[in-house]
A and B are shown apart, each in its own frame.
Chain A
Amino acid sequence: MRKKPRYHSLKKLKIRQDWSRWSLYHLSELRPPNTATKTYFQQKWAAKSATRAYHGEVIREKKWKRQFKRSIPAVVPMDFKYLATHDGAEQAAGRGAGADSEDKQRTPLQTPYMQMTYWPIERRLDTAIFRSLFASSVRQARQFVVHGLVKVNGKKMPYPGYLLNPGDMFQVEPESVMFATGAPKVRTSTARRVAKERAAARADARAANPPQIPPSSIKITAPTREEPSPAELKKTLQALMEKVEDALAEDVKAKDKQKLRDFRKTVRSAVSLWKNASPDSVSTLDNQFSFLRTHLSTYMSNAPPPPPVPSTPSDSSLPPADPNSIFSKSDTAKLRAAFDRLKAEADYDSKWNGKDASKPYRTPWRPRDYMSAFAFIPRYLEVNQNICAAVYLRHPVARPGLAEVPTPFHVETGQLAFNWYLRRR
């Protein structure tokens, strides 16, 4: 049997649908097609071969040939004001109607139909997952689908060749997405040794005193995420609000006052939207406020001491303030509160993106190498990255000056490839 050609070969530069450094290198080496020395057939063949290595290389040629459509969806953006004021007759008006202007109409931008040859492939589920940045290659996206990690409209869809219809929502397991797009785990001998030692220690501990708690109760007690309830969030925000009111009551510099007012507005809007406030936004507001407070206290050490922060639990536990210190007792209390908040924030951070050896990717999570060079989301998809779900809004279209199918090739290559498939129709 013939040896399979290399997927990423440095001999034959083929761009693949993935975020690898080889693809990037090949992209940088890509040139317009050579039309001077090759026959038309050779040009078409080369174009087909190059484009098919990128677009749907997992699809057999025969299947793709059946999918190929010579009609390509396109749109033209319309100006509603123009439509309201003109009925189109002015375009048909000749010189007899008095149209005698010398100034030529600006030629509209070219609609790149020829870059849209492979638009039916963008409908495929695996390709759409790759395009929404949920997988680092189409092959990986395909694997996710086959392994049952992908749902379409809330139902498991194990077919990578499923053609999405406009309005279909697909979602991928967030853990798999983090694995696919995150930097790979480094496996050093030290880490392995440490893990082994820990495992041994745990085994020893288990052997010494077997667990009394039945596993079912463990499941209940272990929280997946310590997220404050909306009611708690609201309370926090209201407390914050009071603090700001206090701060505003003092006479402060105009500029600072302005800042505080702006801040108060954000808090107020946050309180009104408390249902959708995330712990994240609360912590940032908190940080902002504490910074402003300290800023104020350092600038106006001669100002009357601000009223103490209400309901600070650590207030009583503090030792009396040093008389030489610039910070008054209430200030120290505030600092203490800020410190507590900082600690809480650190906890929160670690909960979101902390070190976790059990994860299959490097923790804390960071994007994998070369991801940013390939990171774009075409307009026919609407993606929510938080839940790793996306909606296929419509088919990709060509519009003046823009083709929505992401293809790395020159427009001439696209045309040649289109002609290759046209031949058999």
Chain B
Amino acid sequence: MPPRLRTSNLPSSAASSPSIRSQCLFHPIRTSRELSQTSCQQVTARRRKFYEWLNGPGAQLKEPLPGSTNYLGAYDKYGNLVRASPAWQRKSRAELQREKEMKQAEPVVKAEPVKAETEKTEGASEGQEEVDELEMQTRRDEEAKRKETKDDDQQLPPETAEDLRPFPQNRFFRSQPVLSEDLREAIYQRVKRDGATVSLASVEFGVSNERVGAVVRLKQMEKEWIAQGKILAVPYARAVLEMIPVTPFIDTSLPENKGKRPVPHEPINDLIVHPATRQQLFVPVAESRQFTREDAGKAFDNHLLPADDRIPHPELVKAERELAAGLPFEERRRLVEGRLKAEQAKKSKEEARKAAAIASLKTVPQRRWDFVFQDVSVEAVGKKGRDPRGVGWRYGFPHEDRKKGHVKIPTRVDA
């Protein structure tokens, strides 16, 4: 097949040459010739279908649904929102704009009389009008509120698991809620101001340990940015948090939330499936024997601990056991404090070890970079001389960095 050439780039003689015209001979003769030069009508049909979908059912997905998520899984194939009541109607952008203006109009109205008085023309009547307007506004607001509580035709019910599916074919994936801004702030305050440990904050807010740490770290950085006067991506943040499901923060210290409970964000006691437990195992056990979790762990792997010790919050299990054993409050408290102290000691020991490791390095400060010297031993290569901890070039031991398939980009970045 000859290369494709654009006719516009060719001189007229070349364009009419038989070698190029011969291409056209393969095409079937079209019944209807239109102005379009498209060689294949099929493509146009596909494109038409695409645009039909885009302007029909797909039009709902173009812009976010205010106050809700807007995923493909929430719509049927005709583009109707499944969970909405039949009377529900999506507001157009113009309507939303108008509503927004209505909301904004209220403070603007308040500002009017000042202007009117400075002009000193019909100040009284206008003021009266403003008052009427204000009253009307409040009445309308209250009416709207009453309407919402009574019949929620225009109010969307909360999303079901189906509605949170961005990929309708994959029923094992759904958009899960993220932490709201208030919740993040509360977690940060709990850890930074009140000095709560990460695990305590994790239990209180129903947020996993790692997430508590991450929230504190990110929030800290946000505060630093504010202090430095850097520009935050506020419009972006607002828009995103309106589009995705969010775990709200319920401050139980407030009187209006007295009976409520904080909404747990995620399961905090996730047990990692150990590779040793992936296999199926048949262990004959006497029926009279008490075969516990611990024994089951041993059957899989000699060093496999039971789930009680491998979950992120083993202290909860211990506390629950003590409670079930009927220990008095003082006793339980003493035990918990002892555990906390042991944990603290372990932590400080670890920190001391790290500090000692850093102190053992000899640092020579320079203008731009510091030289850091670390003591190494030739003996580190081991008896066979193939230990990776060994330094320097060794006979018969090639440098790994020239090997194929080895990652050349960094594998970790220290914080």
- Do A402 and B293 have beta carbons less than 8 Å apart? no
Beta-carbon nearest neighbor of A15 in chain B: B167
- Do B46 and A409 have beta carbons less than 8 Å apart? no
Beta-carbon nearest neighbor of B108 in chain A: A342
Is A35's beta carbon under 8 Å from chain B? no
Closest chain-B Cβ to A149's Cβ sits at a distance in Å of 13
- Do B287 and A96 have beta carbons less than 8 Å apart? yes
- Do B233 and A177 have beta carbons less than 8 Å apart? yes
Q: Which one of B151-159, B267-275, B346-354, B375-383 contacts A?
A: B267-275
Is B304's beta carbon under 8 Å from chain A? no
Query: How far is it, in angstroms, between the C-alpha of A397 and the C-alpha of B185 when the chains are bound?
Result: 27
- Do B210 and A166 have beta carbons less than 8 Å apart? yes
Q: A78-B311, A89-B290 are in contact. Are A373 and B70 (CB under 8 A)?
A: yes
Give the contacting residue for A159; candidates B108, B235, B307, B409; CB below 8 A.
B409
Q: A84-B317, A88-B293, A319-B118 are in contact. Are A25 and B54 (CB under 8 A)?
A: yes
By a CB distance below 8 angstroms, the chain A residues around B14 are none
Beta-carbon nearest neighbor of A406 in chain B: B173
Beta-carbon nearest neighbor of B270 in chain A: A75
By a CB distance below 8 angstroms, the chain B residues around A369 are 62-63
Is A385's beta carbon under 8 Å from chain B? yes
- Do A295 and B324 have beta carbons less than 8 Å apart? no
Among A218-272, those with CB < 8 Å from B are 223-225, 227, 262, 265
- Do B114 and A385 have beta carbons less than 8 Å apart? no
By a CB distance below 8 angstroms, the chain B residues around A364 are 235
Is A308's beta carbon under 8 Å from chain B? no
Closest chain-A Cβ to B50's Cβ sits at a distance in Å of 6
Is A309's beta carbon under 8 Å from chain B? no
Is B123's beta carbon under 8 Å from chain A? yes
- Do A372 and B127 have beta carbons less than 8 Å apart? no
Among B272-330, those with CB < 8 Å from A are 272-273, 275, 278, 285, 287-288, 290-294, 296, 306-308, 311, 313, 316-318, 320-321, 324
Per-residue A-contact encoding for B101-138, CB less than 8 Å = 1, 0 else = 00000111011011001101001100110010011001
- Do B107 and A287 have beta carbons less than 8 Å apart? yes
By a CB distance below 8 angstroms, the chain B residues around A290 are 107, 110
Is B241's beta carbon under 8 Å from chain A? yes
Is B168's beta carbon under 8 Å from chain A? yes
By a CB distance below 8 angstroms, the chain B residues around A25 are 50, 53-54, 58
Among A69-125, those with CB < 8 Å from B are 71, 73-81, 83-85, 87-89, 92-94, 96-97, 112, 115
Closest chain-B Cβ to A315's Cβ sits at a distance in Å of 12
Closest chain-A Cβ to B286's Cβ sits at a distance in Å of 10
Q: How large is the interface on A (under 10, 10 to 19, 20 to 34, 35 or more residues)?
A: 35 or more
Is B223's beta carbon under 8 Å from chain A? yes
- Do B134 and A30 have beta carbons less than 8 Å apart? no
Is B244's beta carbon under 8 Å from chain A? yes
By a CB distance below 8 angstroms, the chain B residues around A32 are 169
Q: Which one of B80-88, B213-221, B363-371 contacts A?
A: B213-221
Is B148's beta carbon under 8 Å from chain A? no
Q: How large is the interface on B (under 10, 10 to 19, 20 to 34, 35 or more residues)?
A: 35 or more
- Do B272 and A75 have beta carbons less than 8 Å apart? yes
Is B237's beta carbon under 8 Å from chain A? yes
Q: Which one of B18-26, B27-35, B224-232 contacts A?
A: B224-232
Is B337's beta carbon under 8 Å from chain A? no
Is B43's beta carbon under 8 Å from chain A? yes
- Do B270 and A399 have beta carbons less than 8 Å apart? yes
Is B373's beta carbon under 8 Å from chain A? no
Q: How many A-B pairs fall under 8 Å by CB?
A: 336
Query: How far is it, in angstroms, between the C-alpha of A403 and the C-alpha of B169 when the chains are bound?
Result: 13
Q: A154-B415, A273-B189 are in contact. Are A375 and B240 (CB under 8 A)?
A: yes
- Do A224 and B230 have beta carbons less than 8 Å apart? yes
- Do A322 and B240 have beta carbons less than 8 Å apart? no
- The residue among A73, A84, A365 with the most chain B CB atoms within 10 A of its own CB is A84
Q: A27-B167, A372-B69, A376-B166 are in contact. Are A87 and B292 (CB under 8 A)?
A: yes
Closest chain-B Cβ to A162's Cβ sits at a distance in Å of 6
B contacts with A: majority SS: helix
By a CB distance below 8 angstroms, the chain A residues around B275 are 71
- Do A178 and B236 have beta carbons less than 8 Å apart? yes
- Do B237 and A386 have beta carbons less than 8 Å apart? yes
Query: How far is it, in angstroms, between the C-alpha of A81 and the C-alpha of B307 when the chains are bound?
Result: 12
Closest chain-A Cβ to B362's Cβ sits at a distance in Å of 24
Q: A335-B114, A369-B62, A371-B243 are in contact. Are A74 and B107 (CB under 8 A)?
A: no
- Do B320 and A78 have beta carbons less than 8 Å apart? no
Q: A83-B317, A174-B233, A319-B117 are in contact. Are A367 and B64 (CB under 8 A)?
A: yes
Closest chain-B Cβ to A32's Cβ sits at a distance in Å of 7
Beta-carbon nearest neighbor of A280 in chain B: B234
- Do B270 and A276 have beta carbons less than 8 Å apart? no
By a CB distance below 8 angstroms, the chain A residues around B225 are 386-387
Closest chain-A Cβ to B53's Cβ sits at a distance in Å of 6
Closest chain-B Cβ to A417's Cβ sits at a distance in Å of 13
Is A40's beta carbon under 8 Å from chain B? no
Per-residue A-contact encoding for B392-415, CB less than 8 Å = 1, 0 else = 000000000000010001111111
- Do A75 and B271 have beta carbons less than 8 Å apart? yes
Per-residue B-contact encoding for A164-199, CB less than 8 Å = 1, 0 else = 011111000010011001100000000000000000
Query: How far is it, in angstroms, between the C-alpha of A55 and the C-alpha of B110 when the chains are bound?
Result: 56
Please name 26 pairs of A and B residues whose Cβ atoms are closer than 8 Å in the assembled complex, sorted by A.
A10-B50, A27-B72, A79-B269, A88-B296, A92-B285, A93-B287, A153-B415, A178-B233, A181-B240, A287-B107, A319-B118, A325-B117, A325-B127, A338-B110, A339-B111, A367-B64, A367-B243, A375-B240, A377-B178, A386-B225, A387-B225, A391-B217, A393-B210, A401-B172, A403-B170, A403-B173
Q: List 4 additional contacts besides A25-B50, A389-B221; criterion CB under 8 Å.
A: A155-B413, A335-B114, A365-B235, A410-B169
Q: Which residues of A contact B (CB under 8 A)?
A: 10-11, 21-22, 24-25, 27-28, 30-32, 66, 71, 73-81, 83-85, 87-89, 92-94, 96-97, 112, 115, 133, 152-155, 157, 159, 161-163, 165-169, 174, 177-178, 181-182, 223-225, 227, 262, 265, 273, 276, 278, 280, 287, 290-291, 294-295, 298, 318-319, 321-322, 324-327, 332, 335-336, 338-339, 342, 352-353, 364-367, 369-379, 382-391, 393-394, 397, 399, 401-411
Q: Which residues of B contact A (CB under 8 A)?
A: 43, 46-47, 50, 53-54, 57-58, 61-65, 69-72, 77, 106-108, 110-111, 113-114, 117-118, 120, 123-124, 127-128, 131, 134-135, 138, 166-176, 178-179, 184-185, 189, 208, 210-211, 213-215, 217-219, 221-223, 225-226, 229-237, 239-241, 243-244, 254, 256, 266-267, 269-273, 275, 278, 285, 287-288, 290-294, 296, 306-308, 311, 313, 316-318, 320-321, 324, 405, 409-415
> 10 smallest A-B Cβ distances: which pairs?
A88-B293, A385-B237, A84-B320, A376-B175, A372-B64, A391-B214, A339-B111, A324-B124, A384-B218, A408-B167
